[in-house]
Each structure stands twice: as C-alpha cells, then as structure tokens.
Amino acid sequence: MSKTAGTGQRSEPVTAEREPLGWLPWTTLALSIVGVAVAAYLTYEHFTAGSTLACPDTGVVNCMKVTSSQYSRVFGIPVALLGLAFFLGMTALSLPPLWRTASPWPARLRLAAVVVGVVFVCYLIWAELFRIDAICLWCTVVHALTLVLFGLVVVREALTSP
C-alpha cells in the first residue's frame, strides 16, 4: 500500500510519528528569536547614533554611554552587530530539523556558539562594570538571554549525548 503507483518508489508514510522535541529546544528557539529582535534594535541604534534609544541616559543605567563607548566595537566591528549575528545563527541552529538531525555538527556548533557567547558576555559585563561605569538595559537583556541559552544548550547536550 505504501508503494507509489507506477514508479516503484517508496513514499513517506503520511502519518509518521516523530518523537516530540521537548521544551528545551523550543525554548532555545524562542529565546534566540527574542535575541534577534533586541540585537537588531541595538544594531539599528548603533548606526543611527542612538537618537531614539529607549533607555535613561544619566546615572548608572545609561545605554548611550555604553553603546557609544570604545567597548562598543571589537576590532572595528560593532558589538551590537556581532550580537545580531550570534542570535541569527542560534535561531538557525535551533530550528526543529537541526535538533532532530543525526549529524553531530549542529549540536557542536550550538555548543561552540554559546560558549563563545558566554565568554563574550562576561567580557562585556566586566567592561560595563569596571571600565564604562554604566549599565545598558538592552545590553543586559541580551546578556541574560545569552546566559540562559548557554544553560539550555549545555543541559540539552548532557541529556542527549550518547
């Protein structure tokens, strides 16, 4: 019954049952998408000189002071743009087919990305606290998302490794 008439090729069963992904991959995908939105906003603000940045600009919480500091670029590349690239990559790597694939590479790339991300976040938190003397609210959202993504990916890898 499962043969395709006239071709002799097997067709895929229409009602194939897939094992559910569970909440970890879906949460990773959702947080990555939120990260894309926040990082895109920060990137837009970086290239428009932060004229519409929704954040206080005096006192300890001062997004402009952070996003216009020398630490807002790494090797000439805006940190906001690097963040956007990170979250776009994480979104792509967190799509359901890449969780289900038998290839080990998506999992390795996810793990490498979150490890690099979390190291970078630690550097940026250090810069905010000890060099710039100001906290950027939107950047903190990005930092928190990266830290949570790190936790989710690492735990997921521990649960699914052979």
Partner 1 sequence: MSRRVEQKARAREKVAALQAAQARAERRKRLLLAFGAVAVVVIVVAGLVIIRLAGGGSSKTATGPSGSADTQIVGALKDIPDSTFTDVGTDAVQAGPSAITAPALTAGGKPKVLYIGAEFCPYCAAERWPVTVALSRFGTFSNLGTTHSSGDDVFPNTATLSFHGASYTSQYLAFTGVETTTNEQVNGQYAPLDTPTAEDQKTFDTYNQPPYVKSGGSIPFVDLGGKFVASGASYSPEILAGKTQAEISAALKDPSSPIAKAIDGSANVYTAALCNVTGNQPANVCTSPAVTAAAGKLGKS
Q: For residue 54, state whether it binds partner 1 (rule: CB under 8 A).
A: no
Which residues from 56-95 bind partner 1, rule CB under 8 A? Answer: 57-58, 62, 64-65, 68-70, 73
Q: Which is nearer to partner 1, 39 or 64 (CB)?
A: 64
H, E, C per residue of the chain:
CCECCCCCCECCCCCCCCCCCCHHHHHHHHHHHHHHHHHHHHHHHHHCCCCCCCCCECCCEEHHHHHCCHHHEECCEEHHHHHHHHHHHHHHHCCHHHHHCCCCHHHHHHHHHHHHHHHHHHHHHHHHHHHHCCECHHHHHHHHHHHHHHHHHHHHHHHHCC
Q: CB 85 → partner 1: shortest distance, Å?
A: 21
Q: For residue 116, state whether it binds partner 1 (rule: CB under 8 A).
A: no
Contacting residues toward partner 1, per CB under 8 A: 49-50, 57-58, 62, 64-65, 68-70, 73, 118, 121-122, 125-126, 129-134, 147, 150-151, 154-155, 157-159, 161
